[in-house]
Amino acid sequence: MQAPSSLRQRLRAYAGLMRVDRPIGTLLLLWPTYWGLWLAAKGTPSLRLFLIFTVGTWLTRSAGCVINDYFDRDFDRQVARTCQRPLAAGLITPQEALRLFVVLCLLAATLLPFLNWLTIGLSAGAVLITITYPLFKRFTHLPQAYLGIAFSFGIPMAFAATLNQVPPLAWWLMLANACWVVAYDTAYAMADRPDDIQAGIKSTAILFGRFDRHTIAALQAVMLTLFIGIGVAQAMHWPYWIALAGAAVLAAYEQTLLGGDRDQAFRAFLHNNWIGLLLFWGIVAGLAPGGVSTVLPGAA
């Protein structure tokens, strides 16, 4: 396909490469980061950190999409759902994609002077994981596990930025989120499984095979169990427990979707945004005195 000639077409192609039109990935990164911010600050995160992590998460996710498509451009041409992505379709050259990746990383780096050294150090690890994640699907059936680490790194960074340390609570929350990521990204991979097998791409959906739904259910159960432990340890108020019960209902509903076709599996993946949002509300309201709070960060 011929590269776009007009500036408007080129900007649209860049936006598509960054998934500006598909915010689900950004949201699935933001929810656990917000969980960490609110828990670290005991319900009153600073507006400064809220804005830094919100902008930083969007830039990091955009950069991750660009480098992922750069490495996967040949694979993407063989998968029905991804063959029209800008790089796979020839709308953007690999060199342009790498330049865009560098620009996004530099923009994210402008946020670092406003953070402490521990958070800056953790951010270096986050960048390394973001760059290397796309390579894992070439030699292991567990790229979703590596993505679980990548999509959970905002949690220790949020605690580090708030407390200048990473307490055990952060690691337990990170483990819970990693289980959730593997669960929903396995559903995502189920939608692409036939194409992935043909293209030689490895995934947990292929590894788990006919036990995919059972494994997803088990991972969701581990996640919810860890959230129960976190709630007890933090003496959360009643809204937290309502949110946790609601998340369990939503997870059960996803099992009904996973029994359908490829489109239903993708719907199950998208549906996880509501679990993340519900748990965020539960943490915000559950930390407030009497269980009543606003979703806006404090000015502390």
In this prediction, residues 244-258 reach a mean pLDDT of 97
> For 72-109, what is each residue's pLDDT tens digit?
888 888 887 888 889 988 899 999 999 999 999 999 99
CA–CA dist 174, 167 (Å, integer): 11
Supply 157's token pair: 């960074």
Cα distances (angstroms) measured from residue 22 to each of 9, 26, 62, 158, 245: 18, 8, 10, 24, 28
pLDDT given at position 184:
97
Q: What would the pLDDT profile of 111-170 be if each residue is shown by its tens digit?
A: 999 999 999 999 999 999 988 988 888 888 899 999 999 999 999 999 999 999 999 999
- Cβ-based burial of 135 (10 A; exposed 0-12, middle 13-18, buried ≥19): middle
Q: How far apart are CA 181 and CA 162, in angstroms?
A: 24
The stretch 205-232 carries a mean pLDDT of 96
Confidence bin at 5 (pLDDT 50/70/90): low
- Determine if the pTM surpasses 0.85: yes
What mean pLDDT do residues 21-46 have?
A: 96
Mean pLDDT of the chain: 91
Residue 172 and residue 202: Cα distance in Å, rounded?
28
Whether the predicted pLDDT of 52 surpasses 80: yes
Q: How confident is the model at residue 63 (pLDDT cuts 50, 70, 90)?
A: very high
- Ranking 114-123, 198-207, 247-256 by mean pLDDT, the lowest is 198-207
- Computed on alpha carbons and rounded to an integer, the radius of gyration of the chain in Å comes to 19
